[in-house]
Structure 1
């Protein structure tokens, strides 16, 4: 599995895929990402260190992802991220978190107060019924202003039966209105119960992709390895 890459388009940054104790939620119907985990904190740290050692600081920004939330990384890994970012002159750090950890984000930002810390939420869609009855995300707030209160960025998931051009456009517009940046992920086949809908994906590529592909605030991942990490 590739765990380090450099994103040289739009929001330029380095990205590392680390390993933690695993997603505490594990109920999202579309996800098998949580399988990348271990309860051995020492082995996780050794793996994570070997990945973080690749960081150069060339773009002054680092995105850290793992199969769950930043709060599931061991303390030694968190301390190493901070140390390496200081050493390499990196001022902006991007972390991910599930919504259930939102009340812990202010303390994390305080801990990383010397950096410009950006928190990303896996929201998937603003459509409450779709999000909770199809995706089972466990985000029970409906108001976009409340949802975005603790987060700077958000992920969205498109390409599933039931989604329409209007629903996807609405998600993008609301996302850009309520977050600094958003990332649209197109559903890829995995071991979960949710499968890609070819027709929905074709409609996205024809009607929506051309409109937003150059938008600086919007990343679009057609493949789940589009950032150069994963397998």
Structure 2
């Protein structure tokens, strides 16, 4: 059993919950073993989530909800409970994850949580279309117009670094693009997880040496280990 609730007390203080959801609408990313947490049993999903949501205190006024997919795959009961808790606990900022295919539907969530600042995160993984599509199997293209749109609609993107086949130049460019277009970026150093994507330990050594100063940068959340957020399903 993993951990589904945690408090982040360093920079970007917030409470974070890992909720169960219906299967990720996309569900084909080659690096993801996360979707094993999905379920099609609505009762089971809600019974897990309603327990987890009881832990929220509201002490930072900020809550991040993650699930193995997008906010749109959470159940109606779970969404209603989040809404109730956000009101009760006086939460002002709410983070959700979305998949690129939902980019035109974000207003639905903003309306549902009227009066709350909603910050959407999305897995970009890399700005290199070819690598994202052919290695990570995450099938969308970007160009300047799309990136400008995403920069308006999203608060942050996640980047996946130090995988086999990546180069130092790609990683440099990803970080530069992330900071150019978005208010905030999360950088995940890949950890082998039984999928066909593999970690490149030489790149990790280089990355940590070159970029560990980003730990101090307010616009960056750097996850050396993907369990750094303190929530995970084993």
The residue aligned with 2:4 is 3
Q: CA deviation digits over 1:141-170, x for unaligned, max 9?
A: 333213434211110000112323322122
CA distance in 2, matches of 1:113, 1:170: 36
CA distance in 2, matches of 1:204, 1:39: 39
Q: CA deviation digits over 1:45-94, x for unaligned, max 9?
A: 11001101000011110000001111000011011101101101111000
The residue aligned with 2:231 is 229
Task: Output the aligned Cα RMSD.
Answer: 1.1
The residue aligned with 2:154 is 151
What does 1:120-199 correspond to in 2, within 5 Å?
Answer: 120-143=121-144, 144-199=147-202
Q: Secondary structure at the match of 2:35?
A: helix
Asked if structure 1 preserves the Cα contact closer than 8 Å seen for 2:27 and 2:35, the reply is yes
The residue aligned with 2:42 is 41
Unaligned runs of 5+ in 2: none
Distance 1:223 1:36, change over 3 A: same
CA distance in 1, matches of 2:49, 2:139: 28
Given the two structures, how large is their TM-score scaled by the length of structure 1? 0.96
Q: Secondary structure at the match of 2:77?
A: helix
Provide the aligned length of Structure 1 versus Structure 2. 230
Q: CA deviation digits over 1:100-132, x for unaligned, max 9?
A: 111111121122121000000000111111111
Given the two structures, how large is their TM-score scaled by the length of structure 2? 0.95
The residue aligned with 2:77 is 76
Q: CA deviation digits over 1:166-221, x for unaligned, max 9?
A: 221221121112111110001011121101010111110111223x1200110011
